[in-house]
Amino acid sequence: MSRNTPVLGNVLRGVGWFGLALLLITMFLSDFLAHAPAGAEFPGIELSAPSEVHPFGTDMLGRDVLSETLHGLAETGRLAMWAAFFAIVLGGLFGAVAARLPRPLALALRGLFGILGAIPPLLLAIVIVGLTGHFFVAVAAGIGAAPLGFVRAFDRVDLHSPHADYAIATGIPGLSLLQRDLTYDFRHVLGAVVARALAAVTIIVSTASFLGFGAEPPARDLGLIIAAAKINHFTAWWTAIFPGLALILFILCARLAAGLEEGESA
């Protein structure tokens, strides 16, 4: 996003955070807002088009698509928040700490995470799920998104800034300097880091589920719901379009909240 449009950038970030807040409220209230409990079988006619009774129609098992979309959004959000936590801790936070380690160790970690960052995050997550199991999909997504966040945080550290040179010259311990930097510098970008990580891991989690490496029934996130509807994409479009729109909206709000800075990823 251009630096010459700070007002527009702030407006878009505000829209993004407002949208995320509404979606999070919807996730927490999914059981209350849904017409049927998660996975309820045969409450309606199979593949019924959107109507007053079923605003989003029904799927191939007669389940209310609106209810399934709400439950799927809640499951996607739960997985994404856990994955974002791991991505932030292993990525941005660890990168900021690693840059201040003894130089040989710091450069070795930078090289390792740089190599991992060259691997597509989705592929890395799928490999981890294959080695550990579906239960660890959130951890796998967080690890998959972490390398790029690590590299960005590592490269952002300026070990020779005026305040750092002054602190070292006056004898302030390195641990105190690290605490100061994490308290002020990392906090300054925390909102963008969280939103960016949330968008990245949501894509990873949902795509992994779509490919069969994510949530397993009875748990159903949006990726799995869309995958289950693929045989009806053209004959019963509503079975996939509404869960797909919910997923797009969630990712879009997260990206807007992050600021949509050019060339960035989680």
Phi, psi of 213 (to 5 degrees): -110, 15
Going from N- to C-terminal start, the domains of the chain cover 30-37+61-258
**How much is the pLDDT for 2?**
46
Phi, psi of 25 (to 5 degrees): -60, -40
Among 54, 59, 48, 52, which residue's Cα sits nearest to residue 35?
54
Q: Which residues of the chain are under the pLDDT cut of 70? A: 1-5, 39, 41-43, 159-188, 260-266
For residues 109-132, one letter each, b for 16 or more C-beta atoms within 10 angstroms of the residue's C-beta and e for the rest, the string is bbeebeebbeeebbebbbebbeee
**How much is the pLDDT for 19?**
96
CB atoms near residue 151 (< 10 Å)? 17
**How much is the pLDDT for 265?**
40
**How much is the pLDDT for 161?**
60
CB atoms near residue 25 (< 10 Å)? 11
**How much is the pLDDT for 8?**
84
- pLDDT digits 0-9 by tens, 126-183: 999 999 998 999 999 999 999 999 998 888 877 666 555 555 556 666 666 666 666 6
Angstrom distance (rounded) from CA 163 to CA 161: 6
Percent of the chain with pLDDT over 70: 82
Does the reported pTM lie above 0.75? yes
Angstrom distance (rounded) from CA 30 to CA 51: 20
The residues facing 58 across adjacent strands are 64
**How much is the pLDDT for 22?**
96
CB atoms near residue 166 (< 10 Å)? 10
- pLDDT digits 0-9 by tens, 224-241: 999 999 888 888 999 999
Phi, psi of 64 (to 5 degrees): -70, 120
- Domain 30-37+61-258: give its CATH code: 1.10.3720.10
